[in-house]
Chain A
């Protein structure tokens, strides 16, 4: 037997009062004249045995009545067969991750979990404290009816959530509930990816329900990207699926379907597009629906701009001119003056700049870079050949180059290192520039002789020099993202805008493409897609699932009725204060009866 208010046990000291009065033989009375005292003494003398027994009985009845009241005030709870349970702080941890929306045997797994949760809530009484904690760690607490209403409103998340965090949150809630009886009641689909590693329970007894339902074969789009992310205006959509058989797909761009097709197992979806739209657009790659609909579509964002006008300056040499001609023929660039490809001594943003061929021009080049606001300068000369490492530069060697030295203190993230020679940067990019440490000549690098030269140049122009400088942020639902410094609002898929003031806000809970706004213009995208692992419906066996939880008594079952019955099993003790109050009343009634038995009878 435990006590919810053990401090009230000090009231039991009051039981000493009748005891002391009995032992002191009532020396607190007021004096009253009484002539027939001789008869009173005689009565006491002749009835002493009977009176002593009655006094003892009365004293015991009073002592036990006080003790019973003190025990009742201490709110005892004890384990007895039948009856209600003790007041319990119980948190229902409901796994409403994306995977629970899978339909098995005609009903979503989440519906089964909610049914079981309703059964547990029905067993709660008014003295219990309940919370509902979902996979995104959202908490609803209060009465059983409030929690039941919250349960009815619960929808599947667009992502995995974090069941570990939800359990930790729930354990914290029940520990802080002020009840000695605490319990976590976890309802989950038992997805292996949700229960990686050990889940500490910190002493809170736990029951786990994971229905024994064989997961169906699931198809999902695990990646969808625009290549490059800035189309000018040509580009491609590349997507990967987990389909184990041929499946139809659809690529949407903006509000229109851009492509349809069939993808075979193991193949990527690659769709090349040259849309008429301009600006930031959302896109999606969709598969035909299966039992888990939420991962059959994956979102991407793309920025589409007109082909930029590029001028190949004479200082860059003939390789640059022929490359621009080739890109212009493909329609990826046009001849113009928007962007220049030149030697650094002629640097003027935006443009792609190479080290000067003649070392004599190195000083002029550094001055030109400084004038153009490019925070780099050329340093000591280096001679190779040495291999260049960087995206799209496989097999390229640097023969002669200059050390690229940052000029002054650069803000973190203001420049990207595109390629390196050893540990030194060889090609860097920043706001409106791409700077290469070697001259664009056969003495400087073999890059212009490589097949990768023209595509690399085109990608640098598209990625760093064409149009918008905004970024695309990829995030899972509810995860924390970094807000671009210039963004103050976020445009939702339905077009509504909401302010975003936190520097690291939580990503929206629904999948889709959201746009960062600079002023009133779209200047970047936040693409929210479910975690890839959430599409893997592999379940943990119930034994393994139970073994994931440590630090407290755990009972895991795949039987809903058994789990519901065990919802308060760890607190099967019931409140006993009522019984003690009744006992005290019974004792007091007995005391009154015994007292009345010696009181004068009505004439």
Chain B
């Protein structure tokens, strides 16, 4: 088992984020992540079995399906999707609600999400897959079409280093935009705190699924949002994106809130599942490797 202290993907996100620039950290995370996959029989995420065809002289014997030869005495060659076939688009929520942390000095949801986006991008680019990026709040702030070229990494990193807008979220619009950027079926990874209109979001995901995209939604949640663990007893809580506020005795509503949050996560999971999308809650106190694993969990059945 890999040493937790030597693998960047398993380190405390706050600690590792303080060590360097985002692209450096992303590479460390991915390196650690791949080290963890070293014993996997699979060679790559986009290298997927497609179909068999009859063997023809000159074919590489590495791709001969020996099991079929042994069982049926038929010489069949395994055919795979070509490695650059995958076009992935990361849809990143940069609204004001993402620029919040429940812990003083802790990572904001946005910082955490940007780190995850960078790591995913690097992992895909490392496998020569195409990666694009859409940043959105109440409108599209950045739209980078998926490419597998080396300069793509620099584009994504520069886009991620732009600050957020400090406005509300329009996730459904961003997702529609993502559908337009990727013309053939690919992979869409939505990274958001999902403080959006649930039905519009569901409709947008349904549209993406309708055109053949694999959709993975990473629900970024601060631990303070999960537990209402704000170090106050009596306070007036103010919404970061609107003027709504509520006076509350935190100790009195905390348990009810926690129960509600469990219901909310469960509802999102069901909502996305009904559209055929995968949904993973990601807490910002978890290592980046966990988020990275969840980004591909439904697709690759990673251990």
Contact B235 A31 (CB under 8 A): yes
Contact A600 B254 (CB under 8 A): yes
Chain A, range 585-602, C-beta contacts under 8 Å to B: 595, 597-600
**Contacts of B251 on A, CB cut-off 8 Å?**
595, 598-599
Give the shortest distance, in Å, between A25 (CB) and chain B (any CB): 6
A48 (CB) vs chain B CBs: closest residue: B256
**Contacts of B50 on A, CB cut-off 8 Å?**
none
Distance, CA A507 to CA B287, complexed state (A): 101
Contact A598 B240 (CB under 8 A): no
Contact B238 A51 (CB under 8 A): no
Q: Determine whether A35 belongs to the interface, using a CB cutoff of 8 Å to chain B.
A: yes
Contact B252 A37 (CB under 8 A): no
B261 (CB) vs chain A CBs: closest residue: A39
Contact A29 B235 (CB under 8 A): yes
Distance, CA A27 to CA B249, complexed state (A): 10
Q: Determine whether A118 belongs to the interface, using a CB cutoff of 8 Å to chain B.
A: no
Contact B244 A600 (CB under 8 A): no
User: What is the interface size of chain B, counting residues whose CB is below 8 A from a CB of the partner?
Assistant: 38
Q: Determine whether A44 belongs to the interface, using a CB cutoff of 8 Å to chain B.
A: yes
A37 (CB) vs chain B CBs: closest residue: B239
Contact B229 A600 (CB under 8 A): yes
Q: Determine whether B46 belongs to the interface, using a CB cutoff of 8 Å to chain A.
A: no
**Contacts of A50 on B, CB cut-off 8 Å?**
256
Known: A43-B253, A50-B256. A32 touches B247 (CB 8 A): no
Distance, CA A35 to CA B232, complexed state (A): 16
**Contacts of B247 on A, CB cut-off 8 Å?**
25-27, 29
Give the shortest distance, in Å, between B106 (CB) and chain A (any CB): 14
Chain B, range 215-249, C-beta contacts under 8 Å to A: 222, 225, 227-230, 232, 234-241, 244-249
Most A CB within 10 A of own CB, among B222, B248, B254, B264? B248
Q: Determine whether A213 belongs to the interface, using a CB cutoff of 8 Å to chain B.
A: no
Known: A26-B249, A37-B244, A43-B260. A597 touches B255 (CB 8 A): yes
The one of A28, A29, A32, A598 in contact with B253, judged by C-beta atoms closer than 8 angstroms, is: A598
Give the shortest distance, in Å, between A24 (CB) and chain B (any CB): 9
Contact with B along A286-326 (1 / 0, CB 8 A): 00000000000000000000000000000000000000000
**Contacts of B193 on A, CB cut-off 8 Å?**
35-36
Known: A29-B236, A32-B235, A35-B195. A42 touches B260 (CB 8 A): yes
Q: Determine whether A579 belongs to the interface, using a CB cutoff of 8 Å to chain B.
A: no
B235 (CB) vs chain A CBs: closest residue: A29
Q: Determine whether B115 belongs to the interface, using a CB cutoff of 8 Å to chain A.
A: no
Contact B252 A598 (CB under 8 A): yes
Give the shortest distance, in Å, between B255 (CB) and chain A (any CB): 5
Distance, CA A54 to CA B244, complexed state (A): 25
Give the shortest distance, in Å, between B90 (CB) and chain A (any CB): 21
Distance, CA A46 to CA B264, complexed state (A): 13
Contact B240 A34 (CB under 8 A): yes
User: What is the interface size of chain A, counting residues whose CB is below 8 A from a CB of the partner?
Assistant: 32
Chain B, range 186-200, C-beta contacts under 8 Å to A: 193, 195
Contact B253 A33 (CB under 8 A): no
Distance, CA A43 to CA B96, complexed state (A): 23
Distance, CA A58 to CA B260, complexed state (A): 22
Contact B225 A35 (CB under 8 A): yes
Give the shortest distance, in Å, between A30 (CB) and chain B (any CB): 5
Give the shortest distance, in Å, between B244 (CB) and chain A (any CB): 6
Known: A32-B236, A35-B100. A44 touches B246 (CB 8 A): yes
Q: Determine whether B257 belongs to the interface, using a CB cutoff of 8 Å to chain A.
A: yes
Q: Determine whether A125 belongs to the interface, using a CB cutoff of 8 Å to chain B.
A: no
Contact A40 B234 (CB under 8 A): no
Contact B253 A600 (CB under 8 A): no
Contact with A along B32-74 (1 / 0, CB 8 A): 0000000000000000000000000000000000000000000
Known: A30-B235, A54-B252. A600 touches B195 (CB 8 A): no
Q: Determine whether A47 belongs to the interface, using a CB cutoff of 8 Å to chain B.
A: yes
Distance, CA A36 to CA B222, complexed state (A): 10
Interface residues of A (CB under 8 A from B): 25-44, 46-47, 50-51, 54-55, 58, 595, 597-600
Not counting A35-B225, A46-B256, a sample of 5 additional A-B residue pairs whose C-beta atoms are within 8 angstroms of each other reads A33-B237, A36-B195, A44-B246, A51-B253, A54-B252
Question: What are 19 contact pairs spanning A and B, CB under 8 A?
Answer: A29-B247, A31-B235, A32-B235, A32-B237, A33-B240, A34-B237, A35-B96, A35-B225, A35-B239, A38-B239, A43-B253, A43-B256, A46-B256, A51-B252, A51-B256, A55-B252, A598-B252, A598-B256, A599-B251
Task: Give the top 4 A-B pairs by smallest Cβ distance, nearest first.
Answer: A47-B256, A35-B97, A43-B260, A29-B235
